[in-house]
């Protein structure tokens, strides 16, 4: 076998039906016949990254009727594939995050959260270099929100966190404002309050239906369902039958950046007190990755 930069796991979109897929039979058959298998090779030719798509030949409902122990057993069958291709972690479709996040596998599961933060940093940095914005609005929630917002201090711009649960961030906002000197506010989602001088970063698609199509500010959509951010890279996924949305792009490209850095961790470990997503931003910049998201790549 040869070395790859990533391995990406997804499952069938439709549930498999028939007698064999009833729970009493599937509990016995799944570990033997429905384990992960290499489906196709994926070539990100523009960036020089290569990887493989690994298919779990079950649908979401098939998977959900299995016990957690069986799920973990099946997922760990990916280990020989990772060993064969010298890949340390397994990229996972972000739409499967709820089903797979709690499984205690022996290798890292990469969901792309740090890549999305790194991309957000890169895009914020780019837009602020192009024009003067008065406020940065973060719509939705993400893991390690406090650390992410704290890192935004370097941009020296007021930050507004808007979602359905603003009360959850009031203590954080107070702490950052009075102890860290970060101008931050929290509020319920309020697109009517947005102004042309706002830069809006949306990270959860549940809020999309409340945002008018003709928004006044600059709106950057980094939700799992977002498409069209990097058309040339997305075509590399489409050519191999993978969905070109951020739900696939984020874990795949995070895996590539981790591999490039020689990292074996996808759990948010920090080096020299620099958050992992900031390290990824630097790595992505060095690889020319962000140019494909900022319409600068040839």
pLDDT tens per residue, range 203-229 = 998 988 888 766 678 999 999 999 999
Instruction: Give the strand order in the sheet containing 135-139.
Output: 184-188, 159-163, 135-139, 198-202, 218-221
What domains are defined for the chain?
6-111 (no CATH), 112-298 (3.40.50)
**pLDDT on residue 75:** 94
CA–centroid distance for 179 within its chain: 30
What does the alpha-carbon distance between residue 172 and residue 168 come to, in Å, rounded to a whole number?
8
**How far is Cα of residue 82 from the mean position of the Cα atoms in its chain?**
20
Q: Does position 4 have pLDDT exceeding 90, yes or no? A: yes
Task: State yes or no: pLDDT of 269 exceeds 70.
Answer: no
Q: Which residue has the higher pLDDT, 104 or 35?
A: 35
The residue among 223, 158, 152, 161 whose CA lies nearest residue 197 is 158
The DSSP result for 141-170, as a single string, is --TTHHHHHHHGGGG---EEEEES-GGGGH
Confidence class for position 267, pLDDT limits 50, 70, 90? very low
| Mean per-residue pLDDT of the chain | 89
Q: Give the least confident one: 170-174, 189-193, 292-296.
A: 292-296
Are the CB atoms for 97 and 103 separated by under 8 Å?
Answer: no
> What is the value of pTM for the model shown?
0.91
Which pLDDT score, from 0 to 100, does residue 236 have?
93
Q: In this structure, what token pair is assigned to residue 165?
A: 């649960």
| Per-residue pLDDT at 194 | 92
Asked if 217 and 196 touch (Cβ cutoff 8 Å), the reply is yes
pLDDT in tens, 138-180: 999 999 888 898 889 889 999 999 999 998 888 988 888 888 7
HSE, CB side, 13 Å, CA atoms: give it for residue 193.
12
- What is the phi/psi pair of residue 128, to 5°? -70, -25
> For residue 43, what pLDDT is reported?
93
What's the pLDDT score for residue 47?
A: 93
Closest CA to 119 of 291, 296, 298: 291
């Amino acid at each position: 076998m040869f070395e790859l930069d990533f391995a990406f796991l997804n499952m069938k979109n439709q549930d498999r039906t028939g007698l064999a897929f009833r729970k009493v039979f599937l509990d016995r058959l799944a570990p033997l016949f429905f384990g992960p298998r290499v489906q196709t090779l994926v070539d990100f030719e523009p960036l020089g990254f290569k990887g493989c798509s690994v298919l779990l030949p079950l649908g979401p409902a098939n998977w959900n009727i299995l016990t957690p122990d069986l799920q973990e057993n099946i997922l760990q069958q990916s280990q020989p594939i990772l060993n064969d291709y010298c890949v340390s972690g397994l990229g996972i479709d972000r739409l499967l995050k709820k089903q797979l996040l709690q499984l205690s596998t022996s290798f890292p599961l990469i969901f792309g959260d740090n890549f999305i933060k790194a991309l957000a940093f890169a895009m914020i940095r780019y837009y602020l270099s192009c024009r003067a914005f008065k406020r940065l609005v973060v719509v939705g929630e993400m893991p390690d929100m406090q650390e992410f917002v704290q890192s935004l201090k370097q941009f020296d711009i007021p930050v507004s966190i808007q979602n359905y649960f603003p009360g959850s961030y009031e203590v954080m906002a107070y702490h950052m404002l009075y102890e860290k000197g970060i101008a931050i506010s929290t509020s319920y989602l309020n697109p009517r309050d947005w102004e042309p001088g706002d830069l809006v970063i949306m990270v959860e698609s549940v809020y999309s239906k409340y945002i008018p199509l003709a928004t006044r500010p600059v709106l950057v959509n980094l939700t799992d369902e977002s498409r069209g951010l990097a058309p040339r890279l997305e075509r590399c996924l489409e050519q191999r039958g993978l969905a070109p949305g951020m739900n696939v792009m984020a874990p795949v490209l995070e895996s590539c950046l981790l591999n490039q850095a020689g990292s074996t961790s996808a759990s948010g470990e920090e080096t020299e007190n620099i958050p992992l997503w900031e390290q990824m931003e630097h790595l992505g910049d060095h690889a020319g990755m962000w140019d494909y998201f900022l319409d600068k790549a040839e």
